[in-house]
Chain A
Amino acid sequence: MRGRPMNGRSLVNLREDVAIVLCGAAGQGVQTVEHILTQTLKLSGYNVFSTEEYMSRIRGGSNSTLIRVSSKRVSAYVDRIDLLIPFSPGAVTHVRKRISPQTVLLGEKKVFGSEYHSDKAIDVPLSEIASQVGGPIYSNTVAVGLITGLFRVEGDILKDYLRHHFSGKDDPTIRKNIDAAQRGYAVGRNLLDTGKLQIEVQKNARLKDEIIIDGVEALAMGAIAGGCNFVPFYPMSPSTGVATFLAQHSKEFGIVVEQAEDEISAMNMVIGAWYAGARAMASTSGGGFALMVEGLSLAGMLESPAVIHIGQRPGPATGLPTRTEQGDLLFALYAGHGEFPRAIFAPGTIEDTFYLTQKAFNLADKYQIPVFILTDQYLLESHYNIPSLDPSQVKLEKHIIETEEGYKRYQLTEDGISLRGIPGFGKGRVVLDSDEHDEEGHITENLELRTQMVQKRLRKLEQVKGEILPPELIGSPNYKTLIIGWGSNYHVIKEVIERLGRKDVAFLYFKQVYPLHPESAVYLQKAKRRVIVENNATSQLGALIRLETGYEMDHKILKYNGSPFSIEELEENLKWVLR
């Protein structure tokens, strides 16, 4: 990584799509810098995407945040670093594999590291400037100013946003932050004016009104839209943010959010809450879901609706607590003893995360089955701008009846669906039993009835099949090579396909992975070559597709080191496959 010494005059021209990486120790406030930057850059008219990778610790170590600022919508991870802002001495070493001769280092020389030399390292005395304002604590705000200056964010936007962001603080603190940002801003503008850096990314005024949210917020707000009003949970990365968000909005929206003693309790609370007429959701990660499996089987037997969010992270066991993986698809599919129907969504975009979570509540209620939403750390903790979300797009459907005297909870019906009553609403009694039961819900060992009840439960899956979301084809319909992906790999595959620009390649995106839509086989059959891209080691969707449709994958591009695919590595892999 040695380069020529700094000559102070090298001109770097960054165009269209700039990858900024902020890197520092845990507890240094890098997340706050990310937050203010993404908001102000968006308000100024840029497309922004940001995602974090971090260690499972509270202080120290090295964490990094990628922010892409671009003319076009981009929402995928890149390895490339155009601008690196190190906040701690270990930062450059932490991301050094991603540093190229074109990477510009911006920040304090003392944290660049003694072995690092580049003519593209620009010393900006952040803490010295901060000290002039009031102390080194303002360094992060100087850095915010520096970057907004480089991108010519309007001064008023920066000032107003800082005032908004620090609105809980006293006046002198707000003033000092604004002062710090303005001084950083001047340095940034000066770098442009002196020609040390040139940045050309188009602004689009229409983006100012767009929203920026991450997967956590999309999922939590989708749950609210779906009528979710009961969230028992046990903290576990990366799912905790969902319960935290809902707890913080529980008063406004009337949601019971309760931290349970364990996930076993949480899952049984979910089922109890649905029984009494609430709409409940379990939100956890693979390890927590392992404890919920007993309860999942109970939901199967009781024919209880349940919405279960699994924010995947690498396993087995504790694995890599803060990293990402798509390793629990088959676990979610096969979890629970006994045979019972279920549905599994795997959203890959912010919009799909919102709308599918909302839909999950209707689907669970209608068919009285568990419905899963499979996400992962990468999806949950990536932010980007989208036009908006419309909660009235999916209509809230409640499937509860007022019972009559003699009500039978498990009345045998042609479609397998019995009308669902709840206790205290109507004259009937609602009886559920985890044992095999008769139509009234009482325990039975009548084996003929057992057979009928099994068939009744499984008939519901046939009904669910009428509502499966088909996979989406992105790219040319005259493809020869079909790239297959699900969940959070949506954006990276889509962007790589667009970069390749080939008429014979398309991408088939599965946002519902179970049951698979019958159209899936039609798409697969048409392909001369099938390539699957998954964030796991055993190609779980590939296995499921083979089981359900008989089609084998010709190539598998798999990644399981805890990081998401980058544009560069997927492009390289696909080029090799297409060679």
Chain B
Amino acid sequence: METNLFDMKDTDIAWCPGCGNFAILAALKGALTELGIQPEKLVVVSGIGQAAKAPHYYQCNLFNGLHGRSLPAATAIKAANLELTVIDESGDGCMYGEGGNHFVHAIRRNPDITNLVHNNMVYALTKGQASPTSQRGFKTPVQTDGVFLESFNPLALAISLGASFVARAFAGDIEETKGIIKRAILHKGYSLVDILQPCVTYNKMNTYKWFKENVFYLEESYNPFDRMEAFRKAVGEAKLPLGIFYINPKPTFDESLNVYRENKDPLHRRTPDIEKLSQLIDSKRGIYRK
């Protein structure tokens, strides 16, 4: 097996044999290597779940925070230091369920981060309950009559909010997934990559076989700058399209912050201007000065 900078020694990987997470891990490590990113300049933020454990298995700075709360932390990390490459990697339950409100507002805020969502349409770590993306009729020990809630469509939501970059990949195709992740990391602004992934233990409905029969790549001629077309692709297809749905170049959150207008230094290199603060305090004397 090929080795790279991001390999870790002696990891005790907590995933089931055959899990789609292994393929996503391989695709991501390949993408990072090909982009020449240095592990010490990379920060990966994750939440809780089987997918959220992924960054423990490759070399990076890691902020493995709370379930559903990774996006606010990732947003702040990037905003505090523009020199870092920030990836937010977690599962469908973390990002679309517990973190749903943060997902909506991260898209609006548009920080320059890459959001990789391992989407296996099931809660695996808690042993098989429905997730927001579970499909209708999916039976679980809790949803005993099958899921009857509308399935959450992250791509349609992101496009409707004017997200900066929206894509879908399939873990069964490591090469294409790697390519999409590379494009997402290179994109300036918030980029969403929803990665379809079978759960071999808890999702007997959306299996490798099912995915292979139900996904297809957007054609070469597809124009990702057309928002209405992107929305149609996200909601209107019988099968699930893969590829880059939508690109909407716009100013990022970080570059809009006035702290970086004249000075790109990370915040940790700065100290308060005590002279200026003394003047501000002085101004509270009113108009008369000594």
Q: What residues make up the interface of A, taking CB atoms closer than 8 Å to B?
A: 39-40, 42-43, 157, 160-161, 164, 208-213, 217, 221, 224-230, 232, 249-256, 258, 260-262, 264-266, 268-273, 275-280, 294-295, 298, 302, 388-389, 391-392, 396, 398, 400, 422-435, 441-443
Q: How far is the CA of A160 from the CA of B73 in the complex (A)?
A: 49
Residues from chain A with a CB closer than 8 A to the CB of B258 are 250-251
State the main secondary structure of chain A at its contact with B. Answer: mixed
Contacts known (A265-B105, A434-B65); A272 close to B75, Cβ less than 8 A: yes
Task: Name the residue of chain A whose CB is nearest to the CB of B74.
Answer: A272
Q: How far is the CA of A250 from the CA of B274 in the complex (A)?
A: 14
Task: Name the residue of chain B whose CB is nearest to the CB of A210.
Answer: B285
B84 at the interface (CB under 8 A from A): yes
Contacts known (A42-B286, A252-B276, A276-B267); A429 close to B64, Cβ less than 8 A: no
Residues from chain A with a CB closer than 8 A to the CB of B63 are 272, 275, 432
Q: How far is the CA of A427 from the CA of B289 in the complex (A)?
A: 51
- Whether the Cβ atoms of B65 and A268 lie closer than 8 Å is yes
B179–chain A nearest beta-carbon distance, Å: 27
A207–chain B nearest beta-carbon distance, Å: 10
- Whether the Cβ atoms of A253 and B286 lie closer than 8 Å is no
- Whether the Cβ atoms of B263 and A423 lie closer than 8 Å is no
Q: A275-B63, A432-B65 are in contact. List 17 more A-B contacts (CB 8 A).
A: A43-B288, A209-B285, A211-B281, A227-B271, A260-B72, A264-B102, A271-B76, A272-B65, A272-B72, A272-B76, A276-B80, A278-B80, A424-B43, A428-B40, A429-B40, A430-B61, A434-B66
Question: What are 11 A-B interface contacts by the 8 Å CB criterion?
Answer: A208-B288, A230-B267, A253-B273, A253-B276, A253-B277, A254-B263, A261-B105, A265-B71, A276-B84, A431-B56, A434-B65
- Whether the Cβ atoms of A277 and B267 lie closer than 8 Å is yes
Residues from chain B with a CB closer than 8 A to the CB of A434 are 48, 64-66
- Whether the Cβ atoms of A221 and B66 lie closer than 8 Å is no
B203–chain A nearest beta-carbon distance, Å: 24
- Whether the Cβ atoms of B80 and A273 lie closer than 8 Å is yes
Residues from chain A with a CB closer than 8 A to the CB of B102 are 261, 264-265
Q: How far is the CA of A255 from the CA of B263 in the complex (A)?
A: 12
Q: How far is the CA of A254 from the CA of B262 in the complex (A)?
A: 10
Contacts known (A224-B272, A250-B259); A431 close to B61, Cβ less than 8 A: yes
Q: How far is the CA of A453 from the CA of B272 in the complex (A)?
A: 34
Residues from chain A with a CB closer than 8 A to the CB of B287 are 43, 160-161, 164
Contacts known (A272-B73, A391-B281, A426-B40); A442 close to B271, Cβ less than 8 A: no
Out of A262, A388, A424, name the residue touching B281 (CB < 8 Å): A388
- Whether the Cβ atoms of A277 and B266 lie closer than 8 Å is yes
B60 at the interface (CB under 8 A from A): yes
Contacts known (A260-B72, A264-B69, A435-B64); A422 close to B267, Cβ less than 8 A: no
B62 at the interface (CB under 8 A from A): yes
State the main secondary structure of chain B at its contact with A. Answer: helix
Residues from chain A with a CB closer than 8 A to the CB of B61 are 423-424, 429-431
- CB-based A-B contact count at 8 angstroms: 219
Contacts known (A250-B259, A392-B274, A429-B59); A39 close to B286, Cβ less than 8 A: yes
- Whether the Cβ atoms of A389 and B281 lie closer than 8 Å is yes
B125–chain A nearest beta-carbon distance, Å: 12
Residues from chain A with a CB closer than 8 A to the CB of B278 are 391-392
Count of chain B residues near A, Cβ 8 A: 62
Contacts known (A431-B62, A435-B64); A269 close to B284, Cβ less than 8 A: no
Q: How far is the CA of A294 from the CA of B59 in the complex (A)?
A: 28
The contact string, 1 if C-beta is below 8 Å from chain A, for chain B 64-89, is 11100101111111111101100000
Residues from chain A with a CB closer than 8 A to the CB of B268 are 276-278, 398, 400, 422, 425
B238 at the interface (CB under 8 A from A): no
Task: Name the residue of chain B whose CB is nearest to the CB of A275.
Answer: B63
- Whether the Cβ atoms of A276 and B72 lie closer than 8 Å is no
A461–chain B nearest beta-carbon distance, Å: 23
Residues from chain A with a CB closer than 8 A to the CB of B83 are 424
Best-buried of B75, B77, B105, B278 by chain A (most CB within 10 Å): B77
Residues from chain A with a CB closer than 8 A to the CB of B271 are 227, 396
Residues from chain A with a CB closer than 8 A to the CB of B60 are 429
The contact string, 1 if C-beta is below 8 Å from chain A, for chain B 253-283, is 0000111010100111111111011101110
Residues from chain A with a CB closer than 8 A to the CB of B270 are 229, 254
Task: Name the residue of chain A whose CB is nearest to the CB of B289.
Answer: A209
Task: Name the residue of chain B whose CB is nearest to the CB of A163.
Answer: B287
- Whether the Cβ atoms of A424 and B290 lie closer than 8 Å is no
Out of A208, A302, A423, name the residue touching B81 (CB < 8 Å): A423
Out of B53, B62, B65, B73, name the residue touching A429 (CB < 8 Å): B62
Residues from chain A with a CB closer than 8 A to the CB of B75 are 269, 272
- Whether the Cβ atoms of B274 and A225 lie closer than 8 Å is yes
Task: Name the residue of chain A whose CB is nearest to the CB of B45.
Answer: A272
Task: Name the residue of chain B whose CB is nearest to the CB of A266.
Answer: B72
Out of B101, B104, B109, B286, name the residue touching A212 (CB < 8 Å): B286
- Whether the Cβ atoms of B267 and A43 lie closer than 8 Å is no
Q: How far is the CA of A255 from the CA of B274 in the complex (A)?
A: 14
Q: How far is the CA of A182 from the CA of B142 in the complex (A)?
A: 77
- Whether the Cβ atoms of B272 and A280 lie closer than 8 Å is no
Out of B48, B280, B288, name the residue touching A209 (CB < 8 Å): B288
Q: How far is the CA of A164 from the CA of B286 in the complex (A)?
A: 9
- Whether the Cβ atoms of B62 and A441 lie closer than 8 Å is yes
Residues from chain B with a CB closer than 8 A to the CB of A43 are 286-288
Task: Name the residue of chain B whose CB is nearest to the CB of A249.
Answer: B280
Out of B74, B101, B284, B290, name the residue touching A213 (CB < 8 Å): B284
- Whether the Cβ atoms of B66 and A232 lie closer than 8 Å is no
Q: How far is the CA of A209 from the CA of B285 in the complex (A)?
A: 6
- Whether the Cβ atoms of B288 and A424 lie closer than 8 Å is no
Residues from chain A with a CB closer than 8 A to the CB of B290 are 209
B41 at the interface (CB under 8 A from A): yes
A208–chain B nearest beta-carbon distance, Å: 6
Task: Name the residue of chain B whose CB is nearest to the CB of A38.
Answer: B286
Out of A211, A279, A396, name the residue touching B284 (CB < 8 Å): A211
Residues from chain B with a CB closer than 8 A to the CB of A398 are 268
- Whether the Cβ atoms of A276 and B66 lie closer than 8 Å is no
B78–chain A nearest beta-carbon distance, Å: 8
B97 at the interface (CB under 8 A from A): no
B128 at the interface (CB under 8 A from A): no
- Whether the Cβ atoms of B66 and A273 lie closer than 8 Å is no
- Whether the Cβ atoms of A269 and B72 lie closer than 8 Å is yes
Q: How far is the CA of A271 from the CA of B65 in the complex (A)?
A: 9
B146 at the interface (CB under 8 A from A): no
Residues from chain A with a CB closer than 8 A to the CB of B272 are 224-229, 253, 391, 396
Q: How far is the CA of A229 from the CA of B272 in the complex (A)?
A: 8
Q: Which of B210-259 contact A (CB under 8 A)?
A: 257-259
Q: How far is the CA of A398 from the CA of B53 in the complex (A)?
A: 31
A313–chain B nearest beta-carbon distance, Å: 24
Residues from chain A with a CB closer than 8 A to the CB of B84 are 276, 423-424
Residues from chain B with a CB closer than 8 A to the CB of A228 are 272
- Whether the Cβ atoms of B73 and A261 lie closer than 8 Å is no
Closest 3 CB pairs of A and B: A277-B268, A272-B73, A272-B76
Q: How far is the CA of A528 from the CA of B25 in the complex (A)?
A: 69
Residues from chain A with a CB closer than 8 A to the CB of B39 are 429
B126–chain A nearest beta-carbon distance, Å: 15
Task: Name the residue of chain A whose CB is nearest to the CB of B284.
Answer: A211
Out of B59, B74, B104, B285, name the residue touching A211 (CB < 8 Å): B285
A319–chain B nearest beta-carbon distance, Å: 24
Residues from chain B with a CB closer than 8 A to the CB of A422 are 81, 268
Q: How far is the CA of A237 from the CA of B105 in the complex (A)?
A: 23
- Whether the Cβ atoms of B79 and A256 lie closer than 8 Å is yes
B12–chain A nearest beta-carbon distance, Å: 10
Q: How far is the CA of A458 from the CA of B280 in the complex (A)?
A: 40
Task: Name the residue of chain B whose CB is nearest to the CB of A228.
Answer: B272
A246–chain B nearest beta-carbon distance, Å: 12
